[in-house]
Amino acid sequence: MATGLVILGIGILLIIAGFSSTHVEIVPGTFRTEEVQGAPTPAAWIILLIGLVLSAVGFGKRVLSAIEK
């Protein structure tokens, strides 16, 4: 469960960093640039989902072991 929470935390940080970043694109047909809002990469979303799954599995194991006792 702890590993899943760490990966989940890293995924959340990557998502926040992706949404808070910007990049510059060139406007076609002109020499001007335009600042555009960034977006998280697919890898950040995958890391977030892996962290959620691992955390849920770890929590489920913890609950099942508590019920067995």
pLDDT digits (tens, 9 = 90+) for 33-47: 998 898 999 999 999
Q: Taking the complete model, does pTM exceed 0.85, yes or no? A: no
Cα angle 28, 33, 37 (rounded to 5 degrees) comes to 105
Each domain of the chain, given as residue ranges in start order, spans 2-68
pLDDT at position 64 is 92
Q: Mean pLDDT throughout 34-61? A: 93
Task: Work out whether strand 33-37 and strand 22-26 pair parallel, antiparallel, or are unpaired.
Answer: antiparallel
d(CA 14, CA 21): 11
Mean pLDDT of the chain: 91
pLDDT at position 69 is 78
| pLDDT above 80 (res 1) | no
Q: Which two tokens stand for residue 5?
A: 């929470």
